[in-house]
Amino acid sequence: MKKPIILLLALMTFKVSAVEMSKVKPVKNVIFMIADGTSLPALSVTRYVNWYNNPDQEKLALDEILCGTVRTNCINAPIGDSAPTGATYMTGHSAPAGYISTYSPDFGKDNFEKVDVTKTNGPAATIMEACKQVKGKSTGLVVTVNFNHATPSDCFSHYYNRNETAILASQIVNNNVDVVIASGNKYLTPELENYLEKRNYSVIRDDIQAMRSCTNNKMWALFRSKIFDYEIDCDKSKQPSLAEMTKLALDKLSQNKKGFFVMVEGSQIDFAAHNNDPAGIVSETLAFDKAVKVALDFAKKDKNTAVVILSDHGNSGITIGKYGLKGYSSIPMRKMFGPIADYKLSAEGMLKKLNSRPGSDAKRIFNKYANIDLSEQELEKLYRCKGYKNSIYPEKERNNKIDGALYTSSFSRCIASIMVDHCNLGFSTSGHSGEDVFLGCYNPNGAEQLPIGMNTNVEINQYLCALCGMYNKLDEFSDNIYAHSDKVFNDYKVTIDKTNKKFPVLNVENSENGKSFSIKAHTNVLYIKDGKNTIVDLPSVVIYVDKTDLFYVPKNITEYLK
């Protein structure tokens, strides 16, 4: 009987379970990194391809800190969606697809966790909001998609619908995030830009040199309208790498003596996985790993920084090996991964190349950029694609419509499918998958502080809260900054101007002294009519939810009417 007891003791000593989160020591800085939609085999493929290309690099930067796995369910489904899975890491509460850091409805026996229906559809505060407001830490977002895409929105905004981009953008901007490096020029409206400039931010658009030379620690640097090009395809003189963006953000955020919390996302691994695009997956995962190296180098030098790295859900069912692969266990590495190493562009990059040259160039382009000698059949498949603008066939003779993936066209899918046929990877879906994802963690206070083993996504939030000295305190914080307006304004006269349906204006008056204030939904700027027209930036944003017709406001907001 001795052995099981020793094993049990070892587990009790090393596993930071939900029960022992209270023993996790707070650290000054947290670097939280999400490889969006990255299944574990995507990491394996990337490691192999990189090793094949660089014989002295057998391992990835992430490898040294891999310590467990994470379950990434929605509240009512084992397969996750970025909105609720990222939100669970941020808030400690899971929700259904589309929900951005918002309390869930009740799904009865399909619930993964208990639901408090008095909170349904209301905002759930995030650990990043708490770090900023309670701990005085700086915060940052570093992503390669629009800054109001699901994952970054999960950090600083709250809504039951991830597609409400204007609402999400307003909430992020009004949360005064110190450093944002992202895409999404089209979502930073003149009004939002004006908000930032009035608060002394440097707002930089599509200017890599200006970003590099910016000395302001409050910076928004945006590139492109909605998404970055994949690193394998991009013009490096115009678009920074995720590693450089991470380094720049760390340089600025670390100026705060109280510390920082930054979320870095390898956003587009997910897009490439949806498209079943091997070169896209490998190049974006490698780009993410280079950013991981930057984060780990910083943390090891700093000695008071924790790094938590994971994915938010699997995607594509990628496998090394596929149906019909004969003699699979005798295929050497060069044959297994050589073809992928030869891809110099992603399927998206190939698409741009094909559509910028005459159709007769197709064979040459595949040869040059993918080392693929297209068969007559493959060439025909390409030329018959609807999206191949320069095909040798006129549009009415182009009927090949392969179903497009979530973020890409059917032509891109067609190109990717040819590239997949020439390597030994299998894919089982163009959607998300529900297996556990990898977890990597670096904690300066030693191995006994690591969340080893299988963690639920709720437990990851508890760990992040513990690292920030907020263990078990996030719900209370949430109740304080997002209280039901009908409860807070019981004794006051409330009118709501719904001229702008998505951004109604809340007016509240104290009839005893005639004082009143107004605030537009999804902003933090309070206009007080007190004879002096005082304008106050609230620490948190005020949120309006149309479903419930409720505003959510700080509990103590009526202080401004006294």
Binding site for Zn ion (CB under 5 A): 36-37, 82, 270, 312
Closest CA to 68 of 497, 549, 494, 436: 436
Buried b (16+ CB within 10 A) or exposed e, 296-306: bebbeebeebb
Number of Cβ atoms within 10 Å of the Cβ of 355: 14
| Among 152, 104, 149, CA closest to 126 | 152
Q: Which of 235, 230, 263, 239 is nearest to 249 (CA)?
A: 263
* Pair 503, 497: CB distance under 8 Å: no
Return d(Cα 147, Cα 174) in angstroms, integer: 13
Minimum CB separation of residue 198 from Zn ion in Å reads 34
**Least gap, CB of 85 to Zn ion (angstroms):** 6
In the bound complex, what is the minimum distance in angstroms from residue 402's beta carbon to Zn ion? 23
Least separation in angstroms between CB 407 and Zn ion: 11
Nearer to Zn ion, 81 or 459 (CB): 81
Closer residue to Zn ion, CB minimum distance, 97 or 550: 97
Cβ nearer to Zn ion, comparing 272 with 452: 272
Nearer to Zn ion, 217 or 429 (CB): 429
**3-state class (DSSP) for residue 182:** strand
Cβ proximity to Zn ion, 270 vs 509, nearer residue: 270
Whole-number Å distance between alpha carbons of 132 and 195: 19
Q: Which amino acid is at 458?
A: V
What CA–CA distance (Å, rounded) separates 506 from 232?
A: 48
Integer Cα distance of 11 and 128 in angstroms: 30
Closest CA relative to residue 343, chosen from 325, 328, 365: 365
Least Å from the CB of residue 166 to Zn ion? 21
Q: In terms of CB distance, is 143 or 526 closer to Zn ion?
A: 143
Nearer to Zn ion, 273 or 292 (CB): 273
Query: Which of 528, 435, 360 lies closest to 78, judged by CA?
Result: 435
The neighbour count for residue 320, using CB atoms within 10 Å, is 17
CB of 556 to Zn ion, least distance (A): 36
Q: Which is nearer to Zn ion, 89 or 343 (CB)?
A: 89
Check if the beta carbon of residue 146 is closer than 8 Å to that of residue 187.
yes
DSSP assignment of 426-484: E---SSEE-S-EEEEEE-TT-GGGS--EEEEHHHHHHHHHHHTT-TTTHHHHHHHHSEE
Least distance to Zn ion, CB of residue 175, Å: 21
Report in angstroms how near the CB of residue 234 gets to Zn ion at its nearest.
21
Residue with the shortest CB distance to Zn ion: 82
User: DSSP assignment of 312-361, as one string?
Assistant: SSEETT-EEB-TT-TTGGG--HHHHHHHHHT--S-HHHHHHHHHTS-GGG
Residue with Cβ nearer Zn ion (38 or 455): 38
Of 84 and 554, the one with the shorter C-beta distance to Zn ion is 84
Name which of 195 and 228 has its Cβ closer to Zn ion: 228
Shortest gap between Cβ of 186 and Zn ion (angstroms)? Answer: 21
What is the per-residue DSSP string for 264-295?
Answer: EEETTHHHHHHTT-HHHHHHHHHHHHHHHHHH
Contact 63, 293 (CB under 8 A): no
CB of 154 to Zn ion, least distance (A): 10
* Rounded least distance, CB 405 to Zn ion, Å: 14
Smallest gap from Cβ 144 to Zn ion, in A, equals 13
Which residues, at least 6 apart from 526, have a Cβ–Cβ distance to it below 8 Å?
517, 518, 519, 535, 536, 537, 538, 557, 560
Instruction: Give 36 or 233: the residue with its C-beta nearer to Zn ion.
Output: 36
